[in-house]
Structure 1
């Protein structure tokens, strides 16, 4: 009889471990991962999906199981262990009234220890680390137990909803765990630290979050750097320009850059020129001019990308608030916001926007955004009128010229190169700390 009770105690602790592991694994497992396993044909995943889609019901089942087992262990454990320890205390001639207290305390501590450690803490830790495997293992037994105990779990759930509503909360039984953008960033960071994703994957996903906050003028090619052709130019002029600039597409103007009427793709021109030698170099480029879209410079880049995809175009003209040309934007400019700089075989002389020369010493392209400079240097430049570091320098000194230095906080910004009144590069160094005398 004693052996039977001891075996029953062990089984009860094991059953408690089962329900504890089930509870934590259900909360921890990712629905997307179970969906993936179903798509791969995993038969156990279908049962797991059924369980996690009715989470409240099955959590009630696990909690009911844990509660009932704890009550039975308390009822069965102390008397069983007392039978073991009483003879030992009798041999030690412990008074009967004291031996009852001693056996109760010893039995309580032993049952509590094994129940907490083996029946709760250990399965909890395992379930947290192996949530997917545990859910697949426990799904079918949980479904069976849920059907068996349905009247009790249904009553408990309805009572719970009544109490939560009385307290002013409205909790539905079917819910999905969602994460805010900041929570997803934290999850990504933790995944990077644990090695689940690599640095490139982390960078791409973070860039996608930033992508939604960017507007077109922040990544455009400014008007001063746009290379154009005029509609009156000849094919010979276009070929000479392409040999020098090595671009695939060129905006076409009708007079000046404020009146861009289309875009020419050099592939079309050269394909016809190679296939039909009779095409004269002195012919006008007019037949090769394709339409180009015009949008305000403050449009979000995800909006302009959608417009480009709809109109099957790779380039758009950005207009300022007065209707003049602010610059152009290409599909490559947009993609680089996600994947980083894209260079082809003609970009060998292209330099990065940010060059690190040494410790606290950088050469910045004047087009680098102020917010990126703030992140890089951990400073707080603030100016709502301009977006780039070159523009900010011009606001600090109206007669800015090459070699001028603008100090800000712990850094000095020196104009490294200019073209007319346009800042090209900025040399940034940290101020030298003067040792106290």
Structure 2
């Protein structure tokens, strides 16, 4: 091989490597995650801050990349054709005419040079950059800033042209780096699938975001299950009820559950018991003012009210000022730390076999969807429970043996107590279909 051919080969290799550098720099910047870069910056990496700054205004950076890649590709084609065409032409001359050998030699050198650029300067750098974008971005940012300075006059010309075209066509100039809850959930799901985040940790994060959409009826103790005292209850009855049904707090009512006068804590009652003092709920020093919240609040909103009022217990009323339930801080936190279901989930949803479940009518519809793996149910914003779903679908109060088919499941009412749906049998059907109500 002659000296000239050796120089051409070295020059072609250099052009390919430089082009690979620009390709890697382009993808590394585009694929770098701002959250990861900020984390690296907080750990003291100054280059990460420079990458973030360029991501906010990447026009000049990408202009340098395109100038470099296109110039190198053109030079590579010229050098490759000059280097490879003569050997191919000499090889083909033994079988073809001079004109045909020249033409095919040019084609062969073009294909080989193009293939080298595609594989070495495009596919390999981009796959590597997609795998570790942040680490590569902070390594190439120094040389790229230097090139941007050296080519600034040319960069400004191209930037002016590009800016004019973008403005004329009203195209977007900057990407939106805001992170939505859906983005965070997607990242945590990816982390759980890759093994970097434990499944239980990912579930807790998902539960926290779901607090924004779940309303109080999905987690509260319902009206019929509230244990309360009347203000004139005798000492013996109060002590007996505490022993039978211990809770952290009890509403105190005047005549009925809808006339709340306050609440009393188990701590205060125990102090009276241990001090061998009589318990009288009429004692103003024993009663506390309850926190009352509307039933349309979300769990996130009630947490905020707990924090503002310094309370861990709230009564829930509807638009007619009737008490519909009770919720405590423990109820909300058990949902966050658990499987995003009510504390009594195991009692409300009982799996009989692979294709059937026995579900309590007051079970929150979100818990039913999760247990059955149903993506959505019709008119979900109109009700909170499985019983509400059945009433909405049937357009009347369900009776025993009434059924509804939706999403590949049949919901059959098994027991009704004074218009209250106690038990619903859910059976997976053979072929999921559209929802329809059956009486």
Q: Per the shorter chain, which TM-score range? A: 0.7 to 0.9
Quote the residue 1:210 is aligned against.
210
More displaced 10-residue stretch of structure 1: 409-418 or 216-225:
409-418
Q: How does 1:20-419 map to 2 (within 5 A)?
A: 20-89=23-92, 92=94, 94-172=96-174, 175-178=175-178, 185-233=185-233, 237-271=237-271, 274=274, 277=275, 279-281=277-279, 286-340=284-338, 351-370=346-365, 372-373=367-368, 376=372, 378=374, 380=377, 386-391=383-388, 404-409=400-405, 411-416=410-415, 418=417
How far off is 1:297 after superposition?
1.2
Relative to structure 1, the CA distance from residue 66 to residue 239 in structure 2 (aligned partners, 3 Å threshold; closer, same or farther) is farther
Paired residue secondary structure (2:115): helix
Conserved in 1, the CA contact under 8 Å of 2:232 and 2:281?
A: no
How far off is 1:214 after superposition?
2.1
How far off is 1:189 after superposition?
4.3
Relative to structure 1, the CA distance from residue 83 to residue 381 in structure 2 (aligned partners, 3 Å threshold; closer, same or farther) is closer
CA shift digits 1:154-186 (9 cap, x unpaired): 2222211210111123524xx443455555555
Relative to structure 1, the CA distance from residue 199 to residue 417 in structure 2 (aligned partners, 3 Å threshold; closer, same or farther) is farther
CA distance in 1: counterparts of 2:15 and 2:383, whole angstroms: 70
Relative to structure 1, the CA distance from residue 261 to residue 283 in structure 2 (aligned partners, 3 Å threshold; closer, same or farther) is closer
CA shift digits 1:347-369 (9 cap, x unpaired): 9x984432211122212122213
Conserved in 2, the CA contact under 8 Å of 1:370 and 1:381?
A: no
CA distance in 2: counterparts of 1:235 and 1:138, whole angstroms: 79
CA shift digits 1:106-127 (9 cap, x unpaired): 2111111111101111111111
CA distance in 2: counterparts of 1:130 and 1:215, whole angstroms: 42
Paired residue secondary structure (2:402): strand
Paired residue secondary structure (1:295): strand
Q: How many residues align?
A: 421
Relative to structure 1, the CA distance from residue 278 to residue 199 in structure 2 (aligned partners, 3 Å threshold; closer, same or farther) is closer
How far off is 1:44 after superposition?
4.1
CA shift digits 1:180-227 (9 cap, x unpaired): 555555555444443343432333333344322222233322211111
CA shift digits 1:10-40 (9 cap, x unpaired): 1111111111111111111111111111222
How far off is 1:102 after superposition?
2.5
**TM-score after normalising by structure 2:** 0.83
Paired residue secondary structure (1:303): helix
Conserved in 2, the CA contact under 8 Å of 1:235 and 1:284?
A: no
More displaced 10-residue stretch of structure 1: 287-296 or 196-205:
196-205
Conserved in 1, the CA contact under 8 Å of 2:220 and 2:327?
A: yes
Relative to structure 1, the CA distance from residue 60 to residue 260 in structure 2 (aligned partners, 3 Å threshold; closer, same or farther) is farther
Relative to structure 1, the CA distance from residue 313 to residue 424 in structure 2 (aligned partners, 3 Å threshold; closer, same or farther) is farther
How far off is 1:101 after superposition?
1.6
Paired residue secondary structure (1:313): coil
Over the aligned positions, Cα root-mean-square deviation in angstroms equals: 3.3
CA distance in 1: counterparts of 2:120 and 2:391, whole angstroms: 70
Relative to structure 1, the CA distance from residue 144 to residue 236 in structure 2 (aligned partners, 3 Å threshold; closer, same or farther) is farther
CA distance in 2: counterparts of 1:50 and 1:432, whole angstroms: 56
Paired residue secondary structure (2:359): strand
Quote the residue 2:435 is aligned against.
none
CA distance in 2: counterparts of 1:327 and 1:314, whole angstroms: 15
CA distance in 2: counterparts of 1:198 and 1:171, whole angstroms: 38
How far off is 1:387 after superposition?
2.8
Relative to structure 1, the CA distance from residue 354 to residue 88 in structure 2 (aligned partners, 3 Å threshold; closer, same or farther) is same
More displaced 10-residue stretch of structure 1: 371-380 or 243-252:
371-380
CA distance in 1: counterparts of 2:401 and 2:173, whole angstroms: 60
Q: Which sections of structure 1, spanning at least 5 residues, go unmatched?
A: none
**TM-score after normalising by structure 1:** 0.84
